[in-house]
């Protein structure tokens, strides 16, 4: 990644870390962090975002083998998720490109031996984000999303339902009965209280 992209990712990771520690240690307002976010978004909106997207897309298009294509595609997705979480502008073309790139990335529902690429819920969460994203409105990827379709309560206009069989520590969330039915064949592999074999659901990108 370019230095600027690395800087943005670093800034974002720092902020995410702060968000986590704030959740754990109580609410702390950090106006300086908010200002940094606004500044990064401003830079992205002023053209840097398009430039970074283009660089990554060029790398994907020029990739000599599947492994590199996979790697660059995944980086593009992470970048897209970062842009969306900042509320930055993303062109329709880039949104479309990311949608196609998602299908080129390995996807599994649970933890696998060669654990690379998507977890199914993460992929669906990202696709739902692409469908519902409005530039200017930061997309919260830490929010609960439906295990089957990836939508959040903002997308469906009401709270998600909790899978009644899942433990309160790692519940599966669903929109409705229809999503529950369509998710079951995958969800049953991870449904239930946390087990010693380490099976758990990664809901986020
Ligand atoms: Zn759903
Ligand atoms: Zn469940």
pLDDT of residue 168: 58
Q: Which tens digit of pLDDT belongs to each residue from 27-74?
A: 445 677 778 888 899 999 999 999 999 999 999 999 999 999 999 999
Distance 124 CA to ligand 1 centre (A): 10
Four-CA torsion 166, 171, 177, 178, nearest 10 degrees: -120
Same domain? 1 vs 55: yes
Same domain? 90 vs 26: yes
Structural element, H or E, at residue 119: strand 118-119
- Predicted TM-score (pTM) of the model is 0.76
| Euclidean distance between CA atoms 51 and 49, whole angstroms | 5
Same domain? 120 vs 184: yes
Same domain? 13 vs 88: yes
- Judged by DSSP in three states, 107 sits in strand
Same domain? 195 vs 149: yes
Give the C-alpha distances (Å, rounded to integers) separating 181 from 99, 168, 175.
Answer: 25, 21, 11
Q: What percent of the chain has pLDDT over 70?
A: 74
Q: Does the pLDDT of residue 164 top 50, yes or no?
A: yes
Distance 102 CA to ligand 2 centre (A): 25
What domain range is 86 assigned to?
1-103
Distance 176 CA to ligand 2 centre (A): 13
161 backbone dihedrals φ, ψ, rounded to 5°: -100, 145
Same domain? 64 vs 134: no
Mean pLDDT of the 151-170 span: 84
């Amino acid at each position: 990644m370019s230095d600027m992209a690395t800087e943005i990712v670093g800034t974002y990771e720092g902020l995410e870390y702060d968000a986590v520690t704030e959740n754990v240690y109580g609410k702390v307002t950090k106006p300086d962090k908010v200002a940094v976010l606004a500044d990064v978004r401003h830079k992205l909106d002023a053209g840097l975002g398009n430039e970074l997207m283009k660089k990554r897309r060029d790398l994907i298009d020029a990739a000599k083998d599947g492994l590199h294509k996979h790697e660059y595609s995944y980086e593009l997705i992470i970048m897209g998720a970062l842009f969306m979480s900042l509320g930055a502008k993303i062109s329709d073309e880039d949104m479309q490109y990311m949608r196609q790139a998602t299908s080129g990335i390995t996807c599994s529902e649970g933890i696998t031996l060669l654990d690379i690429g998507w977890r199914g819920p993460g992929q669906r969460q990202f696709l739902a984000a692409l469908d519902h994203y409005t530039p200017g409105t930061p997309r919260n990827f830490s929010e609960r999303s439906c295990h089957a379709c990836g939508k959040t309560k903002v997308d469906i206009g009401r709270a998600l339902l909790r899978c009644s069989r899942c433990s309160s520590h790692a519940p599966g969330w669903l929109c409705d009965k229809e999503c529950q039915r369509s998710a079951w064949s995958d969800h049953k592999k991870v449904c239930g209280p946390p087990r010693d074999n380490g099976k758990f659901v990664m809901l986020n990108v």
